[in-house]
Amino acid sequence: MHELALADSVLKAALSAADDAGMDRIDRIVVKIGELQQIERELFEFSLTTVLPAMDDRLAGVQFDLSEELVRFECRSCGTDYGRNDAGIEGDGDQDEAIHFIPELSHAFARCPSCGSPDFEIRAGRGITLERIEGSSEDDPG
Amino acid sequence: MHELALADSVLKAALSAADDAGMDRIDRIVVKIGELQQIERELFEFSLTTVLPAMDDRLAGVQFDLSEELVRFECRSCGTDYGRNDAGIEGDGDQDEAIHFIPELSHAFARCPSCGSPDFEIRAGRGITLERIEGSSEDDPG
Amino acid sequence: MIPGKSIDPRSFAIEDRLAGVSRIVGVSGSKGGVGRSIISSTLALALADQGKRVGLFDLDFTSPSDHVVLGVERGFPDEEFGIDPHFVHGIHMVSVAFFTGDTAVPLRGDAATNALLELLAITRWGDLDVLVLDMPPGLGDTNLDVIQLLPRLEFLLIGNGSKVVIDSVRRGLDLLTELDVPMIGLLENMHRGDERAVESLALAAGVPFLGSVPYDRDLEDALGDVDRLRASAVYSAVGDVLPA
Amino acid sequence: MIPGKSIDPRSFAIEDRLAGVSRIVGVSGSKGGVGRSIISSTLALALADQGKRVGLFDLDFTSPSDHVVLGVERGFPDEEFGIDPHFVHGIHMVSVAFFTGDTAVPLRGDAATNALLELLAITRWGDLDVLVLDMPPGLGDTNLDVIQLLPRLEFLLIGNGSKVVIDSVRRGLDLLTELDVPMIGLLENMHRGDERAVESLALAAGVPFLGSVPYDRDLEDALGDVDRLRASAVYSAVGDVLPA
Ligand SMILES: Nc1ncnc2c1ncn2[C@@H]1O[C@H](COP(=O)(O)OP(=O)(O)O)[C@@H](O)[C@H]1O
Ligand SMILES: Nc1ncnc2c1ncn2[C@@H]1O[C@H](COP(=O)(O)OP(=O)(O)O)[C@@H](O)[C@H]1O
Ligand SMILES: [Mg+2]
Ligand SMILES: [Mg+2]
Ligand SMILES: [Mg+2]
Ligand SMILES: [Mg+2]
Ligand code: NI
Ligand code: NI
Ligand SMILES: [Zn+2]
Ligand SMILES: [Zn+2]
């Protein structure tokens, strides 16, 4: 249920972006969910849509557009590009759980399938990013 | 005159790239020279064109295309984008000299003109990069 | 937001997560092994014993020590609306060692920055009088990150009288002074005999000298056992180090 | 080369620059303050005194110490076809402190990687029997970089009997063993009494135990003065630590 904290940060970031853009209402928030962190999508979505919007009027009619992004690890040692399933992370246990809280702890458990190195870049699919917001201001034409 | 060592590394990188591409002769080497390091361009060019090509036959008729790239520092603290002249580096002295050898030592001397932070990214214009090589192999048509 | 540029939402949550924390103290000093972890842990313990609400956050991700000093069992924190720090010996505590157990965590600087951001975004520290940050050595990513991310942070620097330590701490102190980072002062650790080098350094740098924690040859036996830590000379010395 | 992707030429020069170096020894150990710099510097000094051709490269960029231990004046190296290490007390030596004097060098990990690459690409070490690398603490960028960039590197790990040190060094040792990085062994520093924790750790991890360097209460007075260093208990202990 730490998904609520992640959802909360997304909405805070969205509201800040709305401020910057002079929006009075946010209609749509586009979020990318990285595979590595394995968030519980239902909890995350429930937090975004049901629990949190009450925090700000500008979120009253907001819609969410969530999409998932696969992990792409790139080995700094041999250059191999690999995915979560090839990284040797033990599923359904402590390793998964540690990475769920802090994706960088993959450096403790994940290894390059070609050379065994823990020295990789997480090129994509790490965690939650706010891709885009759409909205309007009172004095928008139309 | 440590410019010779930099020139040497450029040619070694070019020869390695030629190997990868199956080239028997390198005709053209395109190099970008970052402003930050303030290399002595004449020394560097002299090393590239006159001293070093003897190291490998494939460099016999090589031409060089050198261009300069301005420094772009980006402050991690306040986001300001600034150039070498705004970074407060003392010219013609020890600071310049230290940065000439190791561009990252700019973190000891350069400061963001807006907020004073030494915590910046060197976004461009750091040092020497090999942009491209052109060449041909014996069995090239024409 | 800039069209086409995605936003990392985590930093937007930090201020709120720390809203109930009155004071954030970064125990630092650029030289390794000067006793940041010992001081951070015993300071947190002493403040808790005084009835203060205290947090302890071990930011030396690749070489965490506070769980060893305080003898804390590993285990995942509770997860509810975020993560709740472990509550042990009266201290609210977070360490990557709780997540990884005995496993090594090789982390490049940018990964350490990400881990810090993540923990700041999800940890519910609640209401605290003091949050103590146990910093890693050096002048690298994590020390630069806390300066950037936590404008309310005050540094408490640790040094000792060894020439190599004085040389290193002086550099760090000069930098923090130049950057105008709030500084509680410089504390000497492992004080022996009539050594005055740390005091002189504080004087020369114009920062408060916070006194001396004695070298304690029995400290080693107390590590991992809070009752014995409470009886140590270090514990007695750190209790009143933080000016109000 | 991949069309449109520029190449950093520096790594292509490294092998040649180190071609005359017979052996590269990385003095490491993930805990700060265990004595890497003391051991690196006195080991280099002892080997030089034995007539070996020795290099000493201080890779703790944000907290360099070897120049303090050996009492070396700062000053730029000579520049001729590259840079020549300073030659002091029989040791060929490079440290960022030669370039920056007393100024602090805050460096994030990626900048430290760049500084390392640059120095490896331009330094002319010449013919050496041993090049000693004094590593920074932790399991961060520079330790990962040398593993990646210098396949011939052998690690010499330093630890001591303190619980916090044992905990940290065990993690690092496990990782290096898993990665099959060449390892000379584990050396105990600051040995006192009949402490055996470091020896036991080496045994448990299956790496050679290289013996114990005693805790030397007079060492501090010898720092910066090579003649006194040569008379120290540390110097006597490190002279035969490197197996042939
Ligand atoms: N006042 C003291 N007396 C005796 N030993 C100490 C004292 N402070 C620290 N130590 C010891 O010094 C070593 C380094 O301390 P530590 O807190 O881990 O340093 P740091 O966190 O700065 O790297 C540990 O073995 C610790 O037990
Ligand atoms: N064998 C020893 N006896 C006494 N003091 C030592 C010994 N080895 C190291 N020291 C002291 O311990 C401190 C840390 O040593 P240093 O070499 O700087 O550690 P590191 O490089 O691992 O951080 C220094 O003050 C040093 O003088
Ligand atoms: Mg990375
Ligand atoms: Mg950078
Ligand atoms: Mg510590
Ligand atoms: Mg050191
Ligand atoms: Ni969760
Ligand atoms: Ni030069
Ligand atoms: Zn690999
Ligand atoms: Zn700035």
Instruction: Give me the CATH number covering residue D92.
Output: 3.40.50.300
The mean predicted confidence, pLDDT, of chain C is 96
Q: What is the atom index within ligand 1 of the atom nearest the CA of C234?
A: 1
pLDDT score at C177: 95
Closest by CA position to A28, among listed A67, A70, A68, A2:
A67
* Strand-pair category, C130-134 with C24-28: parallel
Euclidean distance between CA atoms D44 and D161, whole angstroms: 24
Is B139's pLDDT higher than 90?
no
**Residue C7 counted as domain residue:** no
Ligand 2 near D35 CB (within 6 A)? yes
Domains of chain B and any CATH numbers: 2-70+125-136 (3.30.2320.50), 72-123 (no CATH)
The first and second tokens of residue C19, run together, are 């809203």
Chain D residues whose CB is inside 8 A of the B118 CB are 106
Q: Does A65 touch chain C (CB under 8 A)?
A: no
Do D and A make contact via 3 or more CB pairs under 8 A? The reply is yes
Q: Does B108 touch chain C (CB under 8 A)?
A: no
Span B43-48, average pLDDT:
94
**Residue C195 counted as domain residue:** yes
What is the D74 CA–ligand 4 centroid distance (Å)? Answer: 26
Do B and A make contact via 3 or more CB pairs under 8 A? The reply is no
pLDDT in tens, D68-109: 999 998 789 888 889 999 999 999 999 999 999 999 999 999
Contact yes or no for C51/C144 (Cβ under 8 A): no
- Give, rounded to a whole angstrom, the gap between the first and last alpha carbons of chain B: 40
Which of D12, D83, D112 is opposite residue B2, by nearest beta carbon? D83
Is C22's pLDDT higher than 80?
yes
What is the B38 CA–ligand 8 centroid distance (Å)? Answer: 8
Q: How many beta-carbon pairs below 8 A join chains B and D?
A: 107
Euclidean distance between CA atoms A9 and A129, whole angstroms: 10
Do C and D make contact via 3 or more CB pairs under 8 A? The reply is yes
CA–CA distance from A44 to each of A15, A38, C118 (Å)?
A: 18, 11, 16
Number of neighbours of residue D149 by Cβ within 10 angstroms: 17
DSSP label at C7? B
Give the confidence band of B12 by pLDDT, cuts at 50, 70, 90. very high
CB-count exposure of residue A12 (10 Å: 0-12, 13-18, 19+)? buried
Euclidean distance between CA atoms C19 and D147, whole angstroms: 42
Nearest CA in chain D to B126: D114
Residue the block writes with tokens 């003091």: C130
Q: Does A36 touch chain C (CB under 8 A)?
A: no
Ligand 2 near D226 CB (within 6 A)? no
Contact yes or no for A35/C35 (Cβ under 8 A): no
Q: What is the atom index within ligand 2 of the atom nearest the CA of D223?
A: 27
Looking at B116-120, B136-140, C8-12, D73-77, which range is the least confident one?
B136-140
Q: What is the atom index within ligand 1 of the atom nearest the CA of D162?
A: 25
Euclidean distance between CA atoms A101 and C119, whole angstroms: 8
Ligand 2 near D56 CB (within 6 A)? no
Span C141-152, average pLDDT:
97
Nearest CA in chain D to B18: D1
**Residue C4 counted as domain residue:** no
* SS3 at position D20: coil
Domain count, chain D: 1
pLDDT score at A19: 95
Neighbours of chain D (3+ CB pairs under 8 A): A, B, C
Give the confidence band of C91 by pLDDT, cuts at 50, 70, 90. very high
pLDDT score at C37: 98
Closest by CA position to B50, among listed B87, B9, B82, B7:
B7
Closest by CA position to C2, among listed A48, B124, B77, A13:
A13
Among protein residues, the one whose CA lies closest to atom 8 of ligand 1: C35
DSSP C111-160: HHHHHHHHHHHHB---SBSEEEEEPPSSSSHHHHHHHHH-TT-EEEEEE-
Closest by CA position to C137, among listed C212, C238, C36, C68:
C36
Among protein residues, the one whose CA lies closest to atom 8 of ligand 2: D35
Nearest CA in chain D to B21: D1
What is the D65 CA–ligand 6 centroid distance (Å)? Answer: 6
Instruction: Give pLDDT < 70 ranges for chain A.
Output: 140-142
Q: The domain containing residue C114 runs over which residues? A: 20-238
Contact A132 C9 (CB under 8 A): no
What is the A7 CA–ligand 7 centroid distance (Å)? Answer: 11
Distance from CA of A2 to the nearest CA of D (A): 28
Give the confidence band of D185 by pLDDT, cuts at 50, 70, 90. very high
Q: Which residues neighbour C124 within 8 Å (Cβ) at sequence distance 6 or greater?
A: A5, C17, C81, C82, C83, C84, C85
Number of neighbours of residue B57 by Cβ within 10 angstroms: 9
Name the residue of C60, C162, C168, C191 whose CB sits within 8 Å of the most ligand 2 atoms, as the mutation to test its pocket: C162
Give the confidence band of D2 by pLDDT, cuts at 50, 70, 90. low
**Residue D113 counted as domain residue:** yes
**Residue C196 counted as domain residue:** yes
**Residue D11 counted as domain residue:** no
Give the confidence band of B26 by pLDDT, cuts at 50, 70, 90. very high
**Residue D162 counted as domain residue:** yes
Chain A residues whose CB is inside 8 A of the C101 CB are 94
What is the D216 CA–ligand 5 centroid distance (Å)? Answer: 23
**Residue D9 counted as domain residue:** no
Contact yes or no for C201/C208 (Cβ under 8 A): no
Is B140's pLDDT higher than 80?
no
Euclidean distance between CA atoms C140 and C156, whole angstroms: 17
Span D112-138, average pLDDT:
98
pLDDT score at C74: 79
pLDDT in tens, B69-89: 999 999 999 999 999 999 999
Q: Does A88 touch chain D (CB under 8 A)?
A: no
ipTM: 0.96
The first and second tokens of residue A67, run together, are 């999409």
Euclidean distance between CA atoms A71 and B75, whole angstroms: 29
pLDDT score at A140: 62
